[in-house]
Amino acid sequence: MRRFFTLGFGTSDTSTIRMALSSSIQNPSAFRLPLRRHHHLPHSNSFGGAASFSRFKPLRCVSSLAVAPSSRILVQNPIVEMDGDEMTRVIWKMIKDKLIYPYLELDVKYFDLGLLNRDATDDHVTVESAEATLKYNVAIKCATITPDEARVKEFNLKSMWRSPNGTIRNILNGTVFREPILCKNIPRIVPGWKKPICIGRHAFGDQYRATDAVIHGPGKLKMIFVPDDGEQLELNVYDFKGPGVALAMYNVDESIRGFAESSMAMAYQKQWPLYLSTKNTILKKYDGRFKDIFQEVYEEKWKEKFEESSIWYEHRLIDDMVAYAMKSEGGYVWACKNYDGDVQSDMLAQGFGSLGLMTSVLLSSDGKTLEAEAAHGTVTRHYRLHQRGQETSTNSIASIFAWTRGLEHRAKLDSNEKLMEFVKNLESACIETVESGKMTKDLALLIHGPKVSREFYLNTEEFIDAVAQKLVEKNPALCS
């Protein structure tokens, strides 16, 4: 397949690119774009070691158009691709080469969010990828490393960069929705869950933007708000008799309203009821604000649409909602505050079987902009094996579904029926492959137990090849 690239900004040698482009027209295999590829060890990067970084300007964005025969499906508008780290980066390339590019004529705005490139660009590449997502409305993201102190030392980073997901969420101002991928032969810890549960996590504020402090001795804790105009508000919080801790957190009406809009848009799209959970009996003003704004948005914009579709919106206390979730059969959207969503989404994943069978999308408040990714991390342990040349059995399903959910949104925005059909075929190819008994080790363990033998699972590439074969069977016209 031939690909034509146009460089964005932050490139090092445009004459080299032009020469490569020229030769690729005659000989596609000769084309080698000098992309800054991620390697786990900073002293083994593609440019010959960490000390050589200064010789190159970091690559932030590449725009590529995969030019294909007429049998391939034309995707009219671009998507933003955000590359990632470690084992997920390895399988990401396999997915593109085996499941995406052979079928789609696709314009990709590529951003390398690998940790080394974020460091080289002072994390500007993350901001720029989010801004591109706002422009093109669809992004598909590979899992990325959020560095801690150990990673800073390991990669010799300039700084302990913030979570890329957090940065992107703040710019897109959306809600993170996670939903299980159901396979009939994968046992569920909660057997009563017959239908998916889509959990929406408010991705702004609360504990994640809080200010906390250790109190070292007796004294008075006060909270003071100084308005731009008007009288100062001073609240007495606690009279400490000894050491302790304190926390101040916040949220804003604009973000809560966007959360409500996103949640109702998702419920309406799925034609499922929507539940919001809070603890407004205790946090009467804080959580009460969430409850009030959700009700306002529902009454103003969504009530009539919901009733016409025989679905509903309801507020529930978080403890009541958790109990309901455990005994329900599923089939609804559950809107959670930031911390609740963080906790309950992992509970949901394990209850349905595995984090490897969980989709994750970030949807903007207007429902127009979507970023899709896998719900799990970079699978570091498998990457260590991969580096040593050992066999891995890494579950790629969530990463494949990141592509399908992003492309599904592109298909909806563009009214592209052929692309929508391809997306459905790729998702069903994944599920049918697992249901036929072909799966990676993590899923085989759920079925066969901790002593599962090698005959019951495929390695990383074998599984993607099995999905590719199933996809060929579903798209014979595109493969002729």
Per DSSP bridges, beta strands 313-317 and 358-364 are: unpaired
Q: How confident is the model at residue 100 (pLDDT cuts 50, 70, 90)?
A: very high
Distance of CA 78 to the CA centre of its chain: 18
Rounded mean pLDDT, 13-39: 34
Extract the annotated binding site for Mn(2+).
319, 342
Grouping H, G, I as helix, E, B as strand and the rest as coil, residue 73 is strand
Q: How confident is the model at residue 208 (pLDDT cuts 50, 70, 90)?
A: confident
Contact 104, 411 (CB under 8 A): no
Look at the domain 2-180+374-479 and name its fold: Isopropylmalate Dehydrogenase (3.40.718)
Extract the annotated binding site for NADP(+).
144-146, 151, 327, 377-382, 395
State pLDDT tens for residues 416-456: 999 999 999 999 999 999 999 999 999 999 999 999 999 99
Extract the annotated binding site for D-threo-isocitrate.
146, 163-169, 178, 201
Is the pLDDT at 225 greater than 70, yes or no?
A: yes
DSSP string, 421-452: HHHHHHHHHHHHHHHTT---HHHHHHHH-TT-
Is the pLDDT at 25 greater than 60, yes or no?
A: no
Rounded mean pLDDT, 6-22: 33
Q: Where are the domains of the chain?
A: 2-180+374-479, 211-248
How would you label 208-243 residue by residue, b for 16+ Cβ within 10 Å and e otherwise?
A: eeeeeeeeeeeeeeeeeeeeeeeeeeeeeeeebeee
Q: What is the pLDDT of residue 209?
A: 84
Q: How confident is the model at residue 365 (pLDDT cuts 50, 70, 90)?
A: confident
Residue 370 CA to residue 405 CA, distance in Å, equals 9
Alpha helices in 97-146 (DSSP H): 115-120, 124-136
Extract the annotated binding site.
144-146, 151, 163-169, 178, 201, 319, 327, 342, 377-382, 395
State the first-to-last Cα distance of the chain, in angstroms, to the nearest integer.
Answer: 15
Residue 444 CA to residue 457 CA, distance in Å, equals 6
Is the Cα dihedral 467, 470, 472, 474 positive or negative?
negative
Is the pLDDT at 98 greater than 80, yes or no?
A: yes
